[in-house]
Every structure is written in C-alpha cells, then in structure tokens.
Amino acid sequence: MTMLTYTLITDPAPLAASEAGRQSKSTGTVYLLVTNTGQTAYATIKVTVPVGTGAGHLTHDFTTITPKGEHTDIKTGRTRAVTVQTQNFAVQVSDQGSAVSFGPGDHMVVTLENVTVAPEPGLAVLRVTEAAGRSKSGGLRRSDTVVAVVKTAPKDIPAPHGFLADDVVVDAGTKVTLNWEGSDDFTYEVLFPGGRKPVPRVKHPGSHGPYSLVLDAGDAPRRDTTYTLVAGFGAQRHTLTTTVQVRNPVLGTLTAVDGVTTPRLAGSTQGDGSITFLPGGVKVWSTPGSDAPGTVFADKADLDGVNTRWVQGRSSDDGWIAFSRFGLQVYPGGPGTSTHGVVYADSVRAKDAPYGQGGGWINLHDEGMTVYLSKNGSNGLGSVTARDFNR
C-alpha cells in the first residue's frame, strides 16, 4: 500500500482517441495529483506510460510528451518545481535525485503535456511506483499502484465554414477565387456546372487553416453559377455552396415564360447592331451607342400598317417609290433620282367610275388597251372621256 494518494485528471476529459489516417491527431494533457493525507513522508515517484496503438495504451508516440512537476507546501503556500526525468516510457520525479519531502497535507502535480492519444478507444492504465518512507535518512519502501485514463471514440472533424468567392459579381470569363476555412484532414473537391476541381492538400501549422481554389479562364463562369464544396473523410461528408453572379451572362438558349424586361439588346461582338426599347415601339441602331439607324432583315413581315418615306427593291439599282401628301411617285434607280419611273400592270381598275360597283376597268395588252364597263363583272365596252385629243 502506498503512503501517498494518487488521482489522475485529463484535459480534455475524457480524452478522445486519435483516428487512423487523419493528419491531425487527438492530443491532451494528463495530470497526476499526488497528495499526502498522513504524517510527513519522503518519496520518489515513477510513472510508467503504456505505449502502443491498442485500447490499453495511452499514446503511440512517447516522444511528444513534455513532463513537469510542481510541489506545493501547504504551510508556506510556496510552489516549486521538482526534477523530472524520462526513461524507457517512464517519468521519474525526485528532488534533484533525492526523495521529495511531503508534509501533512502537501501535494504535488506531475503533468504530462502534449500527449498524442493512441488510436483505439478504451482504458489505459498507468503504473505508479512509489519509493517512500517516514524518515528521510531511513530506507524507502517500494509500493505500486495504478491510475487509469478513459479514451473515447475519435471525435468528428469540425465542419468547414466560410465558403465564399473573392468577388460575388464578375464579368463573364473572369477567373474566380473561392476561399474557405477547414481541417487538413478532409479531402476537398469543388463542383460546378460542367466541371469539378480537386483541391490539393496544404500543410498548416495547425489542423484548421485557410484554403483557396482559383478557377482560371477555362473554368470561369459565363452565367450565374453555384459552386459546391464537398469535404470528406471516411464516413464524414460536408457540403457548402456559394453563388457567383455574372453581369453579362453568355447563354446557349434562353426561354422566358413571363417575358424579358430590358432597355436594350445588342449583338455579342464589336460592330453588331442594337435595339432600344422606347415607349410605344423600338428603334434599331447600326452599332451600340450610335445615333445612326440600322437595318432590319426579314423574309416577310405581317403588319397592320407601315409608315415610311420611301420603299426600294433589294438592289441599289432597283426603282423606288416615294410617298407624298398627294399620293406616291415612282422613280428608277436608287433613292435621290428625280426621273420618273414606270409602273407595270396587266390592267387598271378605277374605283369610282360612273357605273359604280367594280368601277371601270382598263385592260392593258400588247396591241394597246381596252376599256370595259366592269359593272357587276360585265365585259361590256366602256367609254373614254377626255377634254381634248391631239393626233
């Protein structure tokens, strides 16, 4: 039976086992509280740590442990450091090689810092070997006892957070930089329409650091795009999303159910025409920002009416028709010529002839022309009335 009393405390409590394959390991601190509950005692103390990867081991790497010891005299209230040595997976505590003096009520704390917890959950038992006596000059008697540490199952890796783009509104084709905070234990991948990008692992001083991924011109968004960050380790899986808006989206097709509202439409390349929407109609311009009217090309038009100053054939040499307040005038060649042109027709019908319905009808043929009554479709010859005739 030991002269001193031993109590073991951990931080955090309980300790979580490390998980195989994770870059970040579970670490903690083990405190061994040594208390004298009786008469004055003198003792050296050895704590043997079970090392390995099993359920009964505290750590698989003894070299990471930093030990220290502090003794507190209850009468004076003074705390002082004691000598701590390590050897063969054990920590030896003494007073510069001699037994430490424990007055009634004195205590000592042996601290094992930076313990990398072994990967299997379970109960790790530490053996305490005490060499103690009531007299400093007398022989010290060896006694053994044990203290135990609980190791729970590994904790989940903290979920990543802060998944955002440097710029949430960009021009089409502009590179995008995505940033987030997350553990180095995860394998990261960014998904987006038409592609996916794995994220290279990076090394940080801690297990939780900043990440970034740059999508260059080849993967840059051409329309509003939602990016999905996928973080995975074993059975753990987390997804985060962020959206980047594009000022000038490039679309393959556009289907608008309720209509499209815009003040202007323009072509996608330099020099293309544009359409401006005005109250009551539209205007077509030769180039965006220009005041020069442009041209509308179509196979046919089905309209309720047309208001125009002139009409011409497709060729620049074709005749054209000008509209004046008194009627219309036909000219040969392009607009601007003043010579009158020719109207070709098989026949001419006069709407308001004396015989009424149908009007008079003039048939034009190779030998000349014939005037018909054209009353109710009659082929009866009609009359030509003139004030004068010069032959």
Question: How does pLDDT run along the chain (391 residues), one tens digit per residue?
Answer: 999 999 999 999 999 999 988 888 999 999 999 999 999 999 999 999 999 999 999 999 999 999 999 999 999 999 999 999 999 999 999 999 999 999 999 999 999 999 999 999 999 999 999 999 999 877 899 999 999 999 999 989 999 999 999 999 999 999 999 999 999 999 999 999 989 999 987 655 444 668 999 998 888 899 999 999 999 998 899 999 999 999 988 877 778 888 778 888 777 677 788 888 888 778 888 777 777 888 878 888 888 888 887 788 778 778 878 887 777 788 887 777 778 877 776 666 655 555 455 567 777 777 777 777 765 556 677 777 766 666 6
Element spanning 246, H or E: strand 236-246
CATH code of 161-246, in short, is 2.60.40.10
- So what CATH class is 5-152? mainly beta
Pinpoint the residues of the chain covered by CATH 2.60.40.1510: 5-152
The DSSP-derived string for 55-124 is: TT-SBS-GGG-EEEEEEE-TTT--EEEEEEEEETTEEEEEBTTBPEEE-TT-EEEEEEEEEEB-SS-EEE
Pinpoint the residues of the chain covered by CATH 2.60.40.10: 161-246
**In 3D, which of 70, 11, 56, 7 has the Cα closest to residue 35?**
7
